[in-house]
Amino acid sequence: MTPALALQDVHKSFGPIEVLHGIDFALRPGEVHALIGENGAGKSTIMKILGGFLAPTSGQVLLDGQPAPYRSGAEAEAAGVVVIHQEFNLAPDLSVAQNVFLGREPGRFLLDHRAMRRETQALLDQLDCRVSPDARIRDLAVSDRQMVEIAKALGRKARVLIMDEPSAVLTHREVEVLFRQIDRLRASGVALLYTSHRLDEVRHLADRITVLRDGAVVRQALRGELTEDGMATAMVGRDLKDIFPPRRDSFGPVVLEVQGFSVPPVVRDVSFTLRRGEVLGISGLVGSGRTELAEGLVGLRSHHGSLRREGQSITLHSAADAAVRGLAYLTEDRKELGLLLDKSLRENLTLSTLGRFGRLMISRPAEETALTRAIEDFDIRAPRRDMAVGNLSGGNQQKLLLAKTMLPDPQIVIIDEPTRGIDIGTKSQIYHFIDRLARDGLSVIVISSDMPEILGLSDRVLVMRQGRVAGELQGAAITETAVVRLVMGTTEEATADA
Amino acid sequence: MRNLSLSTLGPLAALILLVVLGAFLNANFLSAGNITNVLARSAFIGMIAVGMTFVITSGGLDLSVGSMAAFIAGMMILAMNAMLPTLGIGVPLVLAGMAVALGVGLLAGLANGLLITRAGIEPFIVTLGTMGIFRSLVTWIADGGTLSLDFEARQFYRPVYYGGIFGITWPILVFAVVAVLGELAMRHTRFGRYCEAIGSNDRVARYSAVKVERVQLMTYVALGVLVGLATILYVPRLGSASGSTGLLWELEAIAAVIIGGTALKGGYGRVWGTVVGVLILSLIDNILNLADLVSPYLNGAIQGVIIVLAVVLQRGKSSAEGR
């Protein structure tokens, strides 16, 4: 069968640096093809070439065996090759229907609103998505926005669908919905490209797997030929034995006591304690109030309830108050809330601790020294020190954000989604950083939608559901089944007391 | 070191080009008298534009500065006239007038800043409103005419505009000091860094324990004080204020900031660029008046072209960095 879309000996250089070295790669109709590799292996470049956003330096893009006729993303879409980017391409203030038909609105002089709504509804029904065509994108959950993106692609008669880490922002349950849609698309003969850092998903979903390392294909395999370990080994090029650090076993006294803590309108009546040297995992669906709880705890959201720090009652009104009390929060949204993407590493690193770098005037040398230390301590790999942070890879951005969060020397760190959208090698590094923090006597709260991460890192797990604590698990009781049960709320009575 | 690109050096190159052009077109252009004239005229807009640089860098905007200058001038003149019988002509009277000007400027800036940060109204809307309010108040107080400083007080106050030391007049000196302090504040203090951070992404700044509202408020207050300072130096020039004092100053100040390379959407501020921008605007005016090449009536058109060109250059830069 002729591949729907293929690359033939594609090389790509940026300036003098070649980043893709002769890629051969084919997407066949009715097949899910997973492309995996570490950050910087060349996945995004390949996707950009397939989607018409970049032209190869040499080699060919073949659409149905013929040289692809498109020169831009828009032309590629018209030819049926649609890319769903990680950052969605939706206008937040327009309705679902307006987005689905953006750029190809029906009607001559006046828009045919009725037809748009009707056809959008049909597409959404096909996807089993219960969002109204009139809903504004701004008001939708991330998972629903993704469904709208897929509906938009289907509306454009996509024959090739390229999905850049679609599951990164979804929770367990939402991922299952996504998988059903993918199965449906596959059955209807669409050629799918899927990338993900979650290897269990890849094993479950992909009919064919291509592993990239340093801009070259190192392994191609069919369904069932590669285990998750095999994939990780192929990606990294070495055995990855200890992704997670060994568990810690001695803890100090309670350093934070949270009692009857509410962050209206989401979080209600949450109580827990945190000990010195402990990693407390917080699991739950997106929307269960995990992030709101964290933001309330560090004074970024208004809250009520009692907070006791080493036995002493405290009140926090801002992130600055929290810093004084030794609390720090690392946001899940590093691009919008964590880092100034157009600023340099130095300016980002010191932003929350500028007071330490000189009284009236900021001492540039002191800042540079701090950056040098951060680069060493957190293994940040930046081609140039003065580059804009937005041009760093996700993994390095995350390490820089971690360095920034740790700069004020907090005693309690809340890390929200520590490894979202990050390759397995860097993930493991970050897990070991977290372990080192705990062993150094800090207390760490890890919020994560990534089940293995919760299971592999936590000394204790707190599960949230609908703004409340659904249960707490400790030691040997921390199993995937137990956590999932609490997350989903099944057999509530049985597990809540466990 | 930052890369010295076309967009960084563009305004400076344009300034040098204008100086060369001016010298070529008119022999008097480089005379001490003309240079003093250009610099002194730049000084008022210049001081305001330095303050405006911080406001714009932190993602704000202030349309009210021209009207604010008229209002401050009116208040200052009224206050000095009122205090004249008690204080008499002399330094105390002038100092009292200056204190009133700075005080009114501070309060006006505070009003703008509080409405923007506390009430959460957009800067454009707030300052559009206060722009109308300040100018209308002056016109009303002057009853549609002119508020004049007492003749003798005016004579005594005159040297603040016309006098100076080492042949450099006070407005130029004060502008130079403001520019140097502004550059230092933007580059080397927490305040400047916070302004850039807030303009770049105010949510990131908030999550980084920066007191966003307080910094924003301070930019408006500082700008108000600088408008007061500019007015102190402007009033002795004419000795009067009316409803048309400081007309369109806000647009000139904003234009100077943009020409200087500060991003209108915030996040990136350059005080020395603003100074260059102010000088470019006054030089164009000056050259057109000295040379017969182009009608001075086209001044606005040429300035308009320069503003648009400056923004095009900025955009070229940002897309090059985006790669």
B10-64 pLDDT tens trace = 788 888 988 898 888 888 888 888 888 889 889 999 999 999 999 999 999 999 9
* Partner-chain contact B188 A404, CB within 8 Å: no
pLDDT at A496: 41
On the question of pLDDT at B323 being above 70, the answer is no
What would the two tokens of residue A453 be? 């991460």
Mean pLDDT of A266-295: 90
Q: How confident is the model at residue B6 (pLDDT cuts 50, 70, 90)?
A: low
Residues of A in contact with B197 (CB under 8 A): 340, 343, 347, 351
Residues of B in contact with A318 (CB under 8 A): 209, 211
Strands (E), chain B: 146-148, 164-165, 168-169, 240-242
- Out of A7-16, B285-294, B313-322, which region has the weakest mean confidence (pLDDT)? B313-322
CA-based R_g, chain A, Å: 24
Pick the CATH number of A5-236 from 3.90.1150.10, 3.40.50.300, 3.30.360.10, 3.40.225.10: 3.40.50.300
User: What's B101's DSSP letter?
Assistant: H
CA-based R_g, chain B, Å: 20
The pLDDT tens digits for A71-82 are: 888 888 888 898
Mean pLDDT of B82-90: 89
Mean pLDDT of chain A: 87
Mutate to test the interface with B, among A342, A344, A350, A367 (most CBs of B within 10 A): A342
Residue of A nearest to B266 (CA): A342
Pick the CATH number of A254-496 from 3.40.50.300, 3.40.50.720, 3.30.390.10, 3.30.1120.10: 3.40.50.300
Question: Which pairing describes strands A32-36 and A191-194: parallel, antiparallel, or unpaired?
Answer: parallel
d(CA B64, CA B70): 10
pLDDT at B1: 38
- Of B61, B51, B59, nearest in space to B224 by CA: B51
Q: Is A19 on the interface with B (CB under 8 A)?
A: no
On the question of pLDDT at A492 being above 50, the answer is no
Going from N- to C-terminal start, the domains of chain A cover 5-236, 254-496
Answer yes or no: are the C-beta atoms of A296 and A303 closer than 8 Å: yes
Number of residue pairs across A and B with CB atoms under 8 Å? 69
On the question of pLDDT at A122 being above 50, the answer is yes
pLDDT at B317: 53
* Partner-chain contact B184 A300, CB within 8 Å: no
The pLDDT tens digits for B228-273 are: 999 999 999 888 898 888 888 999 999 999 999 888 888 889 999 9
d(CA A110, CA A106): 9
Mean pLDDT of chain B: 88
pLDDT at B176: 95
On the question of pLDDT at B65 being above 50, the answer is yes
Topology agreement, domain A5-236 and domain A254-496: yes
Residues of B in contact with A360 (CB under 8 A): 189
Mutate to test the interface with A, among B186, B190, B211 (most CBs of A within 10 A): B190
Q: Is A1 on the interface with B (CB under 8 A)?
A: no
Instruction: Select from B201, B205, B207 the Cβ nearest to the Cβ of A300.
Output: B207
d(CA B193, CA B209): 13
Answer yes or no: are the C-beta atoms of A131 and A168 closer than 8 Å: no
Does ipTM exceed 0.90? Answer: no
pLDDT at B131: 95
Domains within chain B, CATH numbers bracketed: 31-314 (1.10.3470)
d(CA A435, CA A231): 25
Residues of B in contact with A365 (CB under 8 A): none
- Out of A11-20, A212-221, B255-264, which region has the weakest mean confidence (pLDDT)? A11-20
Mutate to test the interface with A, among B202, B208, B318 (most CBs of A within 10 A): B208
Burial class (CB in 10 A: 0-12, 13-18, 19+), B54: buried
On the question of pLDDT at A493 being above 50, the answer is no
pTM (2 decimals)?
0.79
